Chains A and B, each alone.
Chain A
């Protein structure tokens, strides 16, 4: 995990903490899918994660965003979305 930005590391830790995942943050590949085959997250995880992100970064995630599917596609895309919309 050599090319990981500080924000990506921070959000990886947030995901693990929020969802009580049993993985090392360094094991989350920034380009790997978070849902389905990747970390195997479901819609309730997404709901929990959206809350944690709104509390930490002030970014309200929504499903019908044009780049929606994109947002939760991977750690990297999630961080790009946070970077773009964050208010704190």
Chain B
């Protein structure tokens, strides 16, 4: 049976996790995993809700050792958890607080032992074992499951580390603002450190000041795993961060302006990771340098009649891109926008993401989005844009936009708003944008 080790190079005394300045070693980790694995119930699937990154990892690893699969619910909302619980009724929950999921038995992940055994052996996990199941929202309203093998998680962690030039000897420590129950969080804040002998901070800082404190609690060199939302917050707060070797951003496009500001302000290098649930992380770029994405080693891109797809040794078959991309050979591509973002205005085809990106590049625009409202019965339905641009007039932004986009795509109107209705992962849903538009129209009618 083909297997891959639970972790990269193993040194029992090396630090894996930092909790309030207190180190927990790889040796202790293996001991904690062994202890918990013996206690887990005999069930195929587990929902691991632990908030503490170290305790989540003990639960995740113990499940792997027992041949179980960790389910990654799309959200922690009780309704979303209940739906997963109904579809995977022979599951149990691992928690580190008072959370629970209706209908499922819950088990506390213990705080762990203080006395690691020296003779711990690194567990080997079959590469084709379904380590996690992630979900995408399907058109039917049912979450659609995507099984990830242990081999794919390991391969992506190794190729991402190779791309970033991570060396085991660096002993870098990750501070992450993203939840480890999401694919990007799992890949970048759990798998990446685990496969490279690195460490992580157990917390999940939210406010800029939290980020600063979490970074200060861990030794250098440091890596910040985060999102455009948090980068914008840290840049706007003009934080003085402890030295950060590199910042990794994903979940939404980062504007090169914020990437540049972050690089200058924090004396760091900002990389973006691109991926989607079906394939996992698959490409990176240094945002300030270029718009071209470079796929991770082992991945090849193919142009097919229906669109572009990617191949990787750890994927069962070719996977189509859900987004609009154009290939620059088998290993590089340009991202033009989300596939569902294609619009046709008066016969001109454009991508909402592409337009939004151009809006975000305008000086003074902190956040912005283009949006196609429902058909109003007019001959041509025009795009609407929302922009967060304190101190800027709509006319100023429109004239800047006019310089870079087809006039047919100019928003009618451009609404200046204090904030966009982004959800927990920083995404803007169509529902939220429709709601914002309706609210603004109501205000106009009432003359507010």
Interface residues of A (CB under 8 A from B): 17-20, 22, 42-44, 46-48, 50-51, 54-55, 60-64
Centre residue among B229, B236, B417, B418 by max chain A CB count within 10 A:
B418
Interface membership of B421, Cβ < 8 A: yes
Q: Contact residue range for chain B?
A: 20 to 34
Number of A-B residue pairs, CB cutoff 8 Å, is 55
CB<8 Å pairs between A and B, sample of 10 = A44-B229, A47-B207, A48-B419, A50-B207, A51-B237, A54-B208, A60-B208, A60-B209, A61-B209, A62-B209
Expressed in whole angstroms, the Cα–Cα distance for A22 and B233 within the complex equals: 24
Interface of B is mostly: loop
Choose one: A18, A19, A22, A54; the contact of B439 (CB below 8 Å).
Answer: A22
Bound-state Cα–Cα, A41 to B53, Å? 24
Q: Identify the closest chain B residue to A55 (Cβ).
A: B236
Among the listed B213, B237, B436, which residue makes an inter-chain contact with A54, where contact means beta carbons less than 8 Å apart?
B237
B418 neighbours in A (Cβ, 8 Å): 17-20
- What is the 8 Å Cβ interface bit string for chain B, positions 412-428, against chain A (1 contact, 0 not)? 00000111011110100
Chain A residues lying within 8 Å of B424, measured Cβ to Cβ, are 42-44
Contact B207 A63 (CB under 8 A): yes
Q: Which residues of B pack against A, CB within 8 Å? A: 205-210, 213, 229-230, 233, 236-237, 417-419, 421-424, 426, 436, 439
| A43 touching B210, Cβ below 8 Å | no
- Chain A residues with CB under 8 Å of B423's CB are 44
Q: Are A51 and B208 in contact (CB-based, < 8 A)?
A: yes
Q: Which residues of A contact B417 (CB under 8 A)?
A: 20
Taking CB atoms, residues of chain A closer than 8 Å to B210 are: 62-64
Q: Which residues of B contact A64 (CB under 8 A)?
A: 210, 213
Cα–Cα, bound, A18→B237 (Å): 15
Instruction: Say yes or no: A20-B421 contact (C-beta < 8 A), given A47-B229, A47-B230, A63-B206.
Output: yes
A43 to B421, CA, bound (A): 13
Closest chain-A Cβ to B424's Cβ sits at a distance in Å of: 6
Q: Give the docked Cα–Cα distance between A64 and B208 (Å).
A: 12
Alpha-carbon distance between A44 and B426 when the two chains are bound, in angstroms: 8
Rounded to whole angstroms, the CA-CA distance of A42 and B207 in the bound complex is: 13
Complex alpha-carbon distance, A87 and B235, angstroms: 19
Given pairs A20-B418, A51-B233, 12 additional interface contacts (CB within 8 A): A17-B418, A42-B424, A46-B207, A47-B229, A50-B208, A50-B209, A54-B208, A54-B237, A60-B207, A62-B213, A64-B210, A64-B213
